[in-house]
Each structure stands twice: as C-alpha cells, then as structure tokens.
Structure 1
C-alpha cells in the first residue's frame, strides 16, 4: 500500500538509508498491509537539513503566495477523498463514512489556515514622544516538529502542518507508525500543489528514538504533540533541554452532565453516538456520564438501544458502523477495565466481550455499564475504549465537584434545557472545551485544546496560528531631518 511513499526529503520520497523497513498491519484483519522505512540518525540528519533549507525558502514567500498553495492542497484533498479515505480505513479499520468525514475535515484545516496566513496582524503602539515609533511584528518560529497519534491519522498531523505553514514555518512530520499512510497522502497533496522542497518533510521509524533525536537538534524550534499525558511529560522534559516552544494536546476523560431538565432520550442518543465514534478512540470522547437520578431509566434504555444498533466489523465493509481498536493489547486493557467496574458494583447493560462472529481483528462490543462507582478504574483512568460508564447525581454542586476531581481538562459536555443552568455548568467545569447540548467540538475555525494535565496551546481557530509565531517588538527613533 505504501510502495511509492516513505521518507520525504526535498519533495522526493525515498527509503531509509539503511534500507530497513517496518510493517504496518490492519487492526481489522491483523494482516500486513504494507511497509514503511525504518528511519535512523542518518535519515534524521537529512530531514533536518532539508527542513532548514525549506524554512529559508518558505518564510521568504509572500503570505498570499503561501495561501494559494495551501488552498490548492485543500482542493486536491477534497478531490482525492475516496482514495485517502480508503487508505485510512485500511490502516485504522474505521468505517468509510468516518474516514471520509475526517478527510474532508483535513481539507478544511488547509483552507482555514490558508486564509489565516494573510491575517497575521501586528500592532502599532502610541509612543510617548513624537520622534519614536513602537511596533510589534510576528515572525515564524522556525522549523517545527509534528508528533501525531494514530486515531485520526490525517486530521491530527494536518492541524499542525497547516498552522505551521500558514505562519511561514517549515515542518517535519513524524506520523504514527500504526497508520502512516493517511499522512503520506496529505503531504502528497501539498507537494502536488507546488509547495517548495523542504517546507514539509516526513520521517517514519521508532517513535521515541526519532522524537528524541529531532527534539535535541537545534534546528527544531517548536514541537507540537498529540498523545498521552505520559508521553507529553517526556516530550516536555526533552523540550526543556533546548528551551523549545511546545504545544501539547494530551489525554482527556470528558465528563457528561445530564441535568434533570434535559431530554433523557435525545441526550442519550447524542452521547452514545459520540461515545462510540471511532471505537471511542478519541481524546474528546465522552467518558463519564453523570445522569440526574430522575432520568436514570430512560437514559439507560436509550443508550443501550443505540449500542445494540451498532454493527461491529471491518470498516471497509458495507453496513459497518463501529470498527476495531488499534491493537490487541488495547482490547485486553478495555476488558479488564470493564470487569473492574463490574466487580466494584457496576451493572453490565450491554457488551463487555469480544464479538463472537469475528475471529480476527482487535474488536470489542460497544459496552454500557450502569451504577459505576467513582473509585472504579474507568472513572479515573482515560479508557480510550468503547465502554460507557453511567452513574447518577442529585444536585449541581455535587456533580461539578465529581466532574472536576480528575487531573484531566480537555473536554466536557452538558445537557440541559435551562439556559442559565447550562451556562453556569459550562463555566464551572474545568476543561478547555465544553459542548452544551452538542457533542461535536472540533472544527478548523474553532480552538482545540485543554488545561491541567490535558495540555496547553490551541490548534485551530484564529488563535491556532499564534503558537507558530514569535512576537518581535521594534522601537524606532527617527533621526532629525537635515
């Protein structure tokens, strides 16, 4: 599947210098679907040299010219949506409908940031004396590094690539080893759109080793990571050695508060749909459901009805609505977490096992567990699995305290027909993003990111480009005229 791709240097795909490769397997069939280069230190040096040259060229281009290339790339991604989605589906197993949606969302990133490239506004500051001029301009940080996860293999790297390019930075992309093909396809669109050599480079290989070598290089000036909290802490420590800028989009454990005035059936359907999207392998996936005790039964019934309606299988097959988890160990961990919740008093309402009709692939049934206590592992550890723990609450102050008890703060959700209560809850929840009667938070035009141990910095929106720009203050004293 990846025969023509590999390591991208100066807009040319090539193998690793060592000639070594690593296999990529389908999580739906467990079969090998391709091989990618196993990059090492020699390849890192080549990639960094190319990126440094590319930065010099790209930052010198007018913002309008950079924008034209990025808009063209967005158009190409949309034209190639079926091809890109097919690759994504093969390497992640997600349903084709989800893969198409992610691909189109990826195109939106490049379109949005193409326009933002033309709107990097500075500032004029009134001086205290007439012979002085005070101003602030924004300049690109330099060569950036994108470290992205496998769960959204096109969208996640593109959020970083598009913002960096819009700012005038070059960027080195290290796609996830489990699903590199989608990133290859996005970068191919940029090359075909006419991006200068070195403005974007790609390297594949062992994640921790390559990341450490790239971050240690003085060529890299900014790092953007989408990953777990544990990995984020390691990357931040490495960035500290070189005083490098960093933005972190890390794990979450999103609470959902369903107030007494909410529609229990509608909120349950919306919650379940968001929960099981991408097999719940989503950083902003709703993961703790706090239902007002008066709505307990209708909410549970509607949630289970939706879970039962899902068709689990290989996303390339018609009718499949939930694909596999990324690896077998993830299934094992999910089942252990579900059993822990049951052992602590939770009631299994649906799922809780591997699908009997699938003898290959990393599948698990969509699982719903009611009456889960707060000390169950699934209520304190990010599950990243299609297991929905339901619990109840009595009053607003109680549920806010419980929802805010964890060190995570990426996303949260509120369902209420009382506008005052909904707004008050949203403002009190400790998270970077909140959805009120809405579960879809991500969009090119909106900021995406968290607080607490869920990270810092924002991707998307009008502030998304700021993490790739350095403000420079200029004080200019005018000389007396002759």
Structure 2
C-alpha cells in the first residue's frame, strides 16, 4: 500500500481539513507512486500560521545555545538517515544518486553550521556621546516566517531557509513544492525528534494558490522567503509587500560561461558540461549559455558535443543523469528545442528523448547542444530549466562580456580564462550575484551570501551565511543611562 503522508502542525502529524490527497510518482517510472500527500487548503495553512504565532514568543525567549543544540541534534539525525533520505530524494525528484546524496549532506552541513551561529547572535556595543551611558544594539527575531520552496533542491533549499530562521528565534510555516515534498517533511521529523517545541515549525503540503497565498497574506506572518520561477516570484513579492511583509525572493537565471581566447577548450567544455547537464539542467544556477571566443570555438564545440553524447542517462539510482521531474518540465524543454531550431540555431547534440527500455517510460531528455546561436534568440534569453546549452560565438572578450550581461537575469556567471586582467574585469563587470573564475556556474558554499541581480532576485536580502541570518533578525538600539 502507498504510504499516506500527513501535515506537521503544532507538533502533531495530522490530515488536512480538505480530506484530499495527491499522489507523487517517480519521474523515472511515472506509474510508480512514491507516496500520497495532503492536498491542503487555506484553512489548513491558517491553522499552521496560528500555531506558529502561538509558539513564537517562547521560542524567541529560548537561549541561542539551546536553539543551536536542537539544530545540531536534528543534523545528527539527518546524517544517521542519509541513505534513506537519498533514496527518497531520488525516487521523488529523479536526481542521480551522487547528486541526491550530496544534497542531503548539504542539509546536514547547513543545520550544523547554523547550530553554531545560534550562539553568536547578540548585537554590538558602541561608544555613546553622553557620559554615564551604555549604547548598544540587540538582534531579535522578526516573528513568524513563511517559507515557500521549490522541487529542484527539495531538502537543501528548505534547510537553508529553515535553519537560519530557527537559529534566529523565529517560528516557521513551510510549504514545500507539491511535486517532491517528502524530504521536507523529513526535516520536520528530525527537528521534532530533536526536541523542537510544538508549533515552532509547521509544514503544510498543497497548492500554492491556497496554502502559499494564505501563508503570504495572513496577518500573523512577518516575513516571506520564496524560491522559484521569476514569474511566480514577482507575484509573491507583490503579494507580500502589499501585505506589509519583509520579503526575500530567489528566482531564475540564464547563466553564462564566457570562454576566453586563452582558455583550454577541453577544460572549458568540462566546466560547461558539468554546469549545464548536472542535475539534468534543473538548477537556477545551471549554465545555459556558452559564450566562446572565435579562435577556440570549433574545438570547444567538438569537446562539448563529445561530453553531451557520452552522458550516461537513466534512472537516477544507477545512472549519471536522471529524468526531468515531470512531463510538463520535459515537454517544456523539448518545446524550447523546437523554438531554437525554428529560430535558426543548429542542433549539434541531443535534442530528443533517449531510446532504451530503462528510459522509455520516464521523463528523460538528452543532453542538448545548440551552435550558431545568436544573443537575441529565445534559447539565449529565456530560462529553459533542462539540460540545454546554447553556444554563442564572439570575436573578443568585450563582446563576450556584453553578451553575458545582455539578458534580464543575473544569478550566476563564470569565465574560463588564463588572463588575469580578463578575470578581474569579469568580476568587476559581470551583472550577476555569483561570479566564478575557471569554475562551473553551479555549486555554492553555505557560509557566503547567495542571491542574484535583475529578474533573478528581489534584490532585498541574500541567503546563506551571515546574510541568511540577517533576513530573519531585526535590530533594536538601546540607550542605557545610569
């Protein structure tokens, strides 16, 4: 019998008031139902917010080291169940096992990192102008934080929002993506087992139109953090600001790798292939544009095509690259393949559905390379969110930098070069929140800020590291005369 998962509200595992559930299938084998989840409504979301609001003051008053102890214990419990959680992530999202295992470990590391940070929260002491006075600041939690998270990193992204929110003393309501919610519920179980007080965390599954909207608009919610598409993120930002909330959005990308005249084509192809085809291209930081100097263009294309054609595709449990997460995502990628061909780009590799018994029923797409792409094509301007790389030829570094910046997004960008001056110019002039030299566009450290420019972010607050804590705290200034 398929397992039926419940919501986590006020320390209890409960059914939704709607009485409805939705099945989540394995994208490598859609006929296989992994579990059934609550199809909750606005009333369920409101109950969760009210539970969080009731628990907020006591949790805020809990000493930081004790909050950190609970986070650390939850991280230990996640680590003990790493194989189990990896299997669930592979089954629901389709990610290759090595990638899924790394993502689970990322969640463990995040909990341990912010466990330590919980003890450091305090404030600053300043020198007053008046005699006989102390002047200092204190950091306080904002209150109730609503977290809305995507399916492509279904445990890492909830963890990197949830851990700093709890470390800072906030109560939380979380809505994971409906298409792969299982591992987010496991975060709640780990925290519950670690001793998190009732009501401090509440997880409700269901559609964004009901659960997400209630979280955003409920008067007891003080802050909203959203990760997802730019289109939905803009709506969330408008809803949240109209309701007077503090808001943070991290959105899509159209991430370039600029390949300089001085670059080794084989090394550059490795970097682009890893950034473009890893996680089946389903990462907001995935490389989708290779902007290549004309002197190394032909050799680079040959190398990249060779890598695309050698990727081992199949169910994530046994293969290098798994399926896309849903039929809709696969069909969207294939639609972009058709658009690129119609606009005059040349298909150099992939572009279709792979053949074979292991892949015939899943949502698989071949790693795809387009050449002869121009900067104004839709394939070079719009986020595809699949394993598709458009290769654009440029005549010099200045043109490459201009092409890299000439998109409405600005999340991650990289350059492959042996020229130190070019590397420094790229750091100074690339319009992206994450800039990398001789590295793939994907992959993030947890202790430094993450966020984008332009349509890739609300440009309000960054995530991760100390910046991640800042979103969930507010400063109070104290004048103490004696």
TM-score range, shorter chain: over 0.9
Corresponding residue of 1:372: 373
- Give 3-state SS (helix, strand or coil) of 2:137's partner: strand
- Give 3-state SS (helix, strand or coil) of 1:463's partner: helix
**Which has the larger displacement, 227-236 or 43-52?**
43-52
How many residues align? The count is 476
Mapped partners of 2:310, 2:78: distance in 1: 32
Mapped partners of 2:176, 2:364: distance in 1: 24
Corresponding residue of 2:470: 466
Alignment of 1:290-439 (within 5 A): 290-316=291-317, 318=318, 320-357=319-356, 358-439=359-440
- Give 3-state SS (helix, strand or coil) of 2:295's partner: helix
Deviations 1:305-355 (A, max 9, x none): 211121212112x2x111111222222221221222223332211111111
Mapped partners of 2:413, 2:59: distance in 1: 38
1:278, distance to aligned residue in structure 2 (A): 1.2
Corresponding residue of 1:30: 30
1:3, distance to aligned residue in structure 2 (A): 3.2
Cα contact 1:276–1:366 (8 A) shared by 2? yes
Corresponding residue of 1:223: 224
Mapped partners of 2:291, 2:11: distance in 1: 50
Cα contact 1:69–1:195 (8 A) shared by 2? yes
**Which has the larger displacement, 80-89 or 110-119?**
110-119
1:39, distance to aligned residue in structure 2 (A): 1.2
1:430, distance to aligned residue in structure 2 (A): 0.4
User: Of 419, 434, 453, which aligns to 1:451?
Assistant: 453
Corresponding residue of 2:15: 15
Runs of 4+ with >4 A deviation: none
Mapped partners of 1:28, 1:54: distance in 2: 41
Corresponding residue of 1:475: 479
Cα contact 1:133–1:476 (8 A) shared by 2? yes
Gaps of 5+ in 2: none
1:411, distance to aligned residue in structure 2 (A): 0.6
Corresponding residue of 1:133: 134
1:76, distance to aligned residue in structure 2 (A): 1.3
- Give 3-state SS (helix, strand or coil) of 2:247's partner: strand
Corresponding residue of 1:442: 444
Corresponding residue of 2:199: 198
Mapped partners of 2:339, 2:290: distance in 1: 17
1:55, distance to aligned residue in structure 2 (A): 1.5
Mapped partners of 2:190, 2:322: distance in 1: 27
Could you tell me the TM-score, scaled by structure 1's length?
Answer: 0.96
Cα contact 1:2–1:181 (8 A) shared by 2? no
Gaps of 5+ in 1: none
1:365, distance to aligned residue in structure 2 (A): 0.7
1:445, distance to aligned residue in structure 2 (A): 1.3
**Which has the larger displacement, 102-111 or 411-420?**
411-420
Mapped partners of 2:194, 2:261: distance in 1: 52
Mapped partners of 1:298, 1:341: distance in 2: 22
Could you tell me the TM-score, scaled by structure 2's length?
Answer: 0.96
1:4, distance to aligned residue in structure 2 (A): 6.2
Mapped partners of 2:127, 2:436: distance in 1: 40
1:125, distance to aligned residue in structure 2 (A): 2.2
Q: What is the CA RMSD across the aligned residues, in angstroms?
A: 1.5
